A and B are shown apart, each in its own frame.
Chain A
């Protein structure tokens, strides 16, 4: 076996109380396309950032050609041969400059190169840089802003190949390309592979991975969960991304109370082009919807919460059409949402635990707009106790709590008042097991005849909390299963099937 060009060994990294990576090892071989796969928040981007020199403090080591390497900065990593082409194509080019200038940009910026403003030299450099990728350039003086996305990206890739790159990292390279443009990119990647470049390909489009990759590494929850060799099947990838983990399962603490249907979707078209959804949710049940990124989970939550207007169809709550005019209206009607991405979308970092809890229900804690602090504090004390939030008191700054405890506060925020429908979007991202169990336990305990809908990409997480699992795949409801009668391969099949994919529509 050849020596890997670049290797990461036991790389770990934490941010405050959250462990993003917990010791991951991968080897990138020359002439191999390595696909890096994982759900949102699994640790993919943290690993990439470490490899391209954004973080200096991490555990473990990176080796280049067998030697331990240290990067002081992304520029340093670049010099040592780590080349990254970022997801946002326009970050890699200067739109107002010409094709030739963009290709020769590094030389233009380097006074020692002598290229500077001499057009003939710039052109000469640009041709040399375009050559390995066999780019067909019609007009070297055309501003890059007039070119399609794929051309811009290839220019950016060509530039990153200057010198002797050890590793080329492509982060979601097809996310803004059309199908044909993506095919063009794949051809170029094949050429590069033949030339012996080691490539890391980050994508959540599994059919691309199936087609392109020689090897696929899957990260889940900060750990390597699979390292697969060609032929790669998307079902195996999904299994590794969201499938079975040896976690301690929570037993449902209360028997299922099957109530009557309270929330019903009738031919609901969430976004243009997606198929109509039909779904009935009963009071007293916790339903889980799972599916990969882009399956349409968050969009469905947005419709129910009044942020997104559906294309067509109806939502019925207790038999009456539900059409919240605003978020405030949705809350008034008893729709509560625990949003995905706690730190950006839920927590007010400067506020105390107490003030974070009361935020949506300030009206209930005030008389003539004047807040009544005792009422507010008593309620906060009650919720902190109910969920076992670990903090030095309700006046503690929320930012002083661990991630899991912050999430308890966010969930408690929406459980303190009666609700009719509770939506939990990725409620367990970056939440430790103990906190997860506490949250699930309390959720079950207080549940009477309300509807609880959990949306999560991780199948195990959904199975941990839900009585019933529904699978969304590209906006389509693939099927549902009761937790008591699970058929896991069938679920994975529903999650991973790519036959109906409308690629890059």
Chain B
């Protein structure tokens, strides 16, 4: 008899590790729907998704660096840099949307390349490299506009008026809705999520990245160019972060100097919460997406139930710490 109850206990634990997180997600969903009928409307679903789209995208990028057992802390500032540079290109340099976007993507990739080279070639620890890069870029993004927010028709330092503008097609990326309902940033997030999923779970590149994260020496002896892959992870992370920044400008139509604040923690939080989904205990794109949705839904629901806005960070932090405890402590004992 004791053996039986032991196995059933173990089964229960396995079940809790695997589905516990999703069960909590759906339970909260149900709870909010009952308490506040407006929660369950279609328009609210899209507003939740729109709310998470930007940092969800950043989180998908940072997932790559987590997969190779690193972490990119510069993503928030890369997104902010992308906000300022694209605004500067369009409003002050009077360039078109396509050129501006390409410049931002190239910059994001370049920052990732620098991160990767510092980590791989100069052996600077990943957290320190990307933390340093974060400060560096936070400084750089202030320089073009002399520390001011860039908006259409602003008066520049030399007293001239800026003649450039965000053109309609660019703003559509942030404000448009497909079929009048689905916000474009949400679609971009889902497409990126799908691509990341395919790359990480269904191509040899993804497999090698996971192998490097698991045992870099074994991966190297199996012929994997470990350094190249690690650099690539940071390049991808930087590039995806700059996509996030571009969508952010397009949504607000202003190059806001403070726009990057908070993106980093939300994105890294979502990716780490993703470890708990299905109890896989490793970074994975599906988990990252679910983690972002979880945070978005929770904040949306609690706000509807008139939770004060200043408690939001506390809630996010609590969810993150709880899910990390859940992932590592519970799974370790099994």
Residues of A within 8 A of B (CB): 326-328, 330-331, 337, 339, 344-351, 355, 359-360, 362-363, 365-366, 369-371, 413
Contact = CB atoms under 8 A, between A and B. Distances in A.
Contacts of B153: none
A364 to B, nearest CB: 10
B225 A346 contact: no
A371 B221 contact: no
Closest 4 A-B residue pairs measured CB to CB? A362-B204, A348-B214, A328-B223, A360-B222
A339 B205 contact: no
A3 to B, nearest CB: 45
B223 A360 contact: yes
A366 B204 contact: yes
A337 B208 contact: no
Interface in B102-154: none
13 contacts: A327-B220, A327-B221, A327-B222, A331-B223, A344-B217, A346-B221, A347-B218, A348-B218, A349-B215, A350-B214, A350-B282, A360-B223, A370-B202
A413 B204 CA distance: 16
A500 to B, nearest CB: 32
Contacts of B204: 362-363, 365-366, 369, 371
A339 B223 CA distance: 12
B210 A351 contact: yes
B207 to A, nearest CB: 6
Given A328-B225, A339-B221, A348 B215 contact: yes
A305 B192 CA distance: 39
B181 interface: no
Contacts of A328: 223-225
B59 to A, nearest CB: 21
B205 A369 contact: yes
Contacts of A355: 207, 211
A382 to B, nearest CB: 19
A344 B219 CA distance: 11
Interface in B209-245: 210-211, 213-215, 217-225
B221 A337 contact: yes
Contacts of B214: 348-351
A366 B205 CA distance: 10
Contacts of A346: 218, 221
B225 A359 contact: no
Nearest to A366: B204
Contact of B202 (A326, A360, A371): A371
Interface in B173-211: 198, 202-205, 207-208, 210-211
Given A351-B210, A359-B222, A360-B222, A345 B217 contact: yes
Nearest to B207: A362
A420 to B, nearest CB: 15
Contacts of B219: 348, 359
A331 to B, nearest CB: 5
Contacts of B198: 370
B247 to A, nearest CB: 27
B14 to A, nearest CB: 13
B203 A370 contact: yes
Contacts of B215: 344-345, 347-349
Contacts of B224: 328, 359
